[in-house]
Amino acid sequence: INYTFEAGQVYFIRGDNGSGKTTLVRILIGLYQANSGRILVNGKEVAEPVTANYRNLFSVVFTDFYLFKRMYGIPPFDEKEAQDLLKLFKMEDKVSIEDGVFSDLNFSTGQRKRLALLVALLEKKQFIILDEWAADQDPEFRQVFYEHIIPKLKEMGKTVIAITHDDQYYGMADQLIYMSNGKPVTVRESA
């Protein structure tokens, strides 16, 4: 795989089950060690993708995410920012955040994923990696995610790499990467 992810762009990765989408992301963020090749950041080779400096570039919400009631490792944040994110994710009437603790986590998987993405945004990292994030959202919020939240993340200067099968929203990405047998088969720029 030879690919460049540019800051502030939105990338969607698609492909059949077992095509290598999640493996690619796990290698990119340093959870898996590549058998060969290298990763470059701003033209400089990353000798050890497992170092804190490198991994601190990424906030990730995997399909098998875990959400704690207390937000660990989050830099100090403005309560208004957290409230604005709760509104963006349509959770402001369901949960509150006080001293870095959610008032409740007894929600559907889709709603819990919204809170996991909220935490990822509060981490203030450049890359937001989402593995089938929208799969557990109801159709109404799935549309909100692609048509309002993705553009908002781009507006915030975030680089979004999202694994998705929602073909009706592929146009929301700057780049669409199609994976097959562990390799990108086609890459297209959004019109």
Q: Rounded to whole angstroms, how far apart are CA atoms 8 and 10?
A: 7
Cβ contact 82:97 at 8 Å: yes
Q: Is the pLDDT of residue 18 over 90?
A: no
Say what angle helices 109-122 and 79-88 make with each other, to 10 degrees. 140
Q: Nearest to residue 159, comparing CAs of 1, 52, 2, 11?
A: 11
pLDDT at 189: 67
Q: Is the pLDDT of residue 94 over 70?
A: yes
pLDDT digits (tens, 9 = 90+) for 51-87: 788 888 999 999 888 899 999 889 888 889 999 999 9
Q: Nearest to residue 10, comparing CAs of 185, 163, 133, 112?
A: 163
Phi/psi at 94 (5° precision): -110, -30
Range in 24-28, 81-85, 91-95, 182-186 with the lowest mean pLDDT: 182-186
- Distances in Å between the Cα of 89 and the Cα atoms of 11, 15, 63, 119, 155 are 21, 27, 18, 12, 16
Q: How confident is the model at residue 187 (pLDDT cuts 50, 70, 90)?
A: confident
Q: What's the chain's average pLDDT? A: 90
pLDDT at 126: 95
Q: Rounded to whole angstroms, how far apart are CA atoms 155 and 54?
A: 23
Q: How confident is the model at residue 168 (pLDDT cuts 50, 70, 90)?
A: very high
Please give the average per-residue pLDDT across 98-113, as a whole number.
Answer: 94
Amino acid in the structure at residue 31 = L
Q: Is the pLDDT of residue 93 over 60?
A: yes
Q: Rounded to whole angstroms, how far apart are CA atoms 32 and 163?
A: 17
- Distances in Å between the Cα of 8 and the Cα atoms of 74, 86, 151, 186 are 22, 23, 10, 21
Question: What pTM value is reported for the model?
Answer: 0.91
pLDDT at 190: 61
